[in-house]
Amino acid sequence: MILLGVNIDHCATLRQARYRQAGATVGGNVEPDPVALAQLCERAGADGITIHLREDRRHIQDRDLERLCEAAATRVNLEMACTPEMTALALRLKPHSVCLVPESREEVTTEGGLDVVKFRDKVARVTDAMNAAGIKTSLFIDADEHQIDLAKKLHAPWIELHTGAYANAYHGPARADEFKRLCVGATQAHALGLVVNAGHGINYVNVAEVRTIPHLHELNIGHSIISRALFTGIEEAVREMKTRMNS
């Protein structure tokens, strides 16, 4: 069975749209609460909860992460940049895993995989620290031979293949090539002994093909689940995605 990690960042996006100045992350008029949403996701079958604490704190706030680490019944996966600040935070709060992602302030969301080749030393430093603390590190990378090889050499136990380019190409001529690239990357990573996750841009339609990528352990999905939840409620949205992932 492929596991589902639900990314709840956009619940916080909605809260921040109205209550950015409130100071508090919960209580009084402040809503919606991402931690309460996470608990409903878990009740509906989510295998883990993912949040991205961005350096600019545009959606998830530090207090959300602290509360989630206390309240989660499943696993907390913290997406983070390779910075000393985020490393210290992860070592203090001890999520089950961290997913190292690139971050630039201008992007709307994470737009490309982490360049492990370029940032080798930074990635190695964070991965070593997490390994020593018993926190799993996942590297969010493109399905590129060199990136995958280096993930193994730096002792990251997991990778998350970036499915964004595939998702963007889904309705165009490049789809087959992008899909093949993901399959080749997953096969390579599995042969090296890496656990293979995937995420970004996965929705209720393209998941029918995404789920056939070999050796998938977990999919991390946010935007499409939160969007559907506006119409169906979050529990139905999570259940439906899990069914489509595994039927």
Instruction: Give contact residues for ligand PXP (rule: CB under 6 A).
Output: 7, 9, 52, 79, 99, 101, 109-110, 140, 160, 199-202, 220-224
Closest CB to ligand PXP among residues 28, 179:
179
Report, in Å, the least distance between residue 60 CB and ligand PXP.
10
Taking the C-alpha atoms of residue 175 and residue 205, their distance in angstroms, rounded to an integer, is 14
CB of residue 153 vs ligand PXP: minimum separation in angstroms?
21
Q: Which residue among 52, 59, 162, 217 is the active-site one? A: 52
Q: In angstroms, what is the minimal distance from the CB of 76 to ligand PXP?
A: 14
b/e map of 138-164 (b: 16 or more CB within 10 Å)?
bbbbbbbeebbebbbebebbbbbbbbb
Residue 200: half-sphere exposure toward Cβ, Cα within 13 Å: 24
* Residue tagged active-site, from 10, 59, 162, 200: 200
Nearer to ligand PXP, 9 or 33 (CB): 9
- 217 catalytic? Reply is no
Cα–Cα distance, 153 to 147 (Å, whole number):
10
Q: How far apart are CA 60 and CA 67, in angstroms?
A: 11
Identify whether 52 is a catalytic site residue: yes
Is the alpha carbon torsion for 192, 244, 199, 219 positive or negative? negative
Our answer to whether residue 223 is catalytic in this structure is no
Sign of dihedral through CA atoms 201, 9, 109, 50?
Answer: negative
Q: How far apart are the first and last CA of the chain?
A: 9
- State the nearest-atom distance from the C-beta of 59 to ligand PXP, in Å: 9
CA 237 to chain centre: 17
Q: Which is nearer to ligand PXP, 95 or 201 (CB)?
A: 201
- Cβ closest to ligand PXP, residue 24 vs residue 55: 55
Which of the residues are catalytic?
Answer: 52, 79, 200
